[in-house]
Amino acid sequence: MIRVFIDASVLFSAALSATGASREILLRGIRREVELLASDLVLEEVRRNLVAKCPDRLHDLDDLLEAMTLHIVNPHRRQVIAAASYTELKDAPIVAAAQQARADFLVSLDRAHLVDVPAVATRSGLRIMLPSTLLMLLRADSPST
């Protein structure tokens, strides 16, 4: 099964909208078509952002989290330090957790620091992409969806 590490931006987007690629990836996780991975930091960040920007959508996040099996992976400090040598410090724990989880994909909406930075993908060994890009790949693998 494909292992997908989701960052806070993907969870945030899925909590805000019942449609879109972020929500569809989570729904695929609920249907056990993909294995969803995250870290405690991701969950803390998405909650903090929802409380600050859209507190009325916290229940949507809670409903999604309750419906899915989300495997939590927290990186070791040394992994975060290593990742900080080639990515933004704020993103190093995310990259390190995805590496530790042996994720097939790291999905994020952060183009500036993750998705559109080839050096991060190269140095981390991760396939980093937008949810919409992953969804296209998943659909190509199963044409009936």
Residues 36-92: tens digit of each pLDDT: 999 999 999 999 999 999 999 999 999 999 999 999 999 999 999 999 999 999 999
Place of tokens 């809670």: 62
Residues 6+ away with beta carbon under 8 Å from 131: 10, 13, 20, 21, 22, 24, 25, 107, 109
Domain 3-141 has CATH 3.40.50.720: no
The SS3 call for residue 98 is helix
Q: What is the pTM of this model?
A: 0.95
pLDDT at position 142:
75
The mean per-residue pLDDT over the stretch 9-17 comes to 97
| Confidence check: pLDDT of 143 > 80 | no
Q: Domain spans of the chain?
A: 3-141
Compute CA distances 104 → 2, 37, 53, 62, 129, whole Å: 6, 10, 31, 25, 11
| Confidence check: pLDDT of 124 > 80 | yes
| Confidence check: pLDDT of 109 > 90 | yes
| Confidence check: pLDDT of 114 > 60 | yes
| Confidence check: pLDDT of 9 > 80 | yes
144 confidence band (pLDDT: 50, 70, 90): low
Instruction: Please choose, from the candidates 40, 38, 109, the residue with its C-alpha nearest in 3D space to the C-alpha of residue 69.
Output: 38
| Confidence check: pLDDT of 145 > 60 | no
Max CA pair span of the chain: 43
| Confidence check: pLDDT of 15 > 90 | yes
Q: If you write DSSP's letter for every residue of 39-70 in order, what string do you get?
A: -HHHHHHHHHHHHHH-GGGHHHHHHHHHHS-E
| Confidence check: pLDDT of 14 > 60 | yes
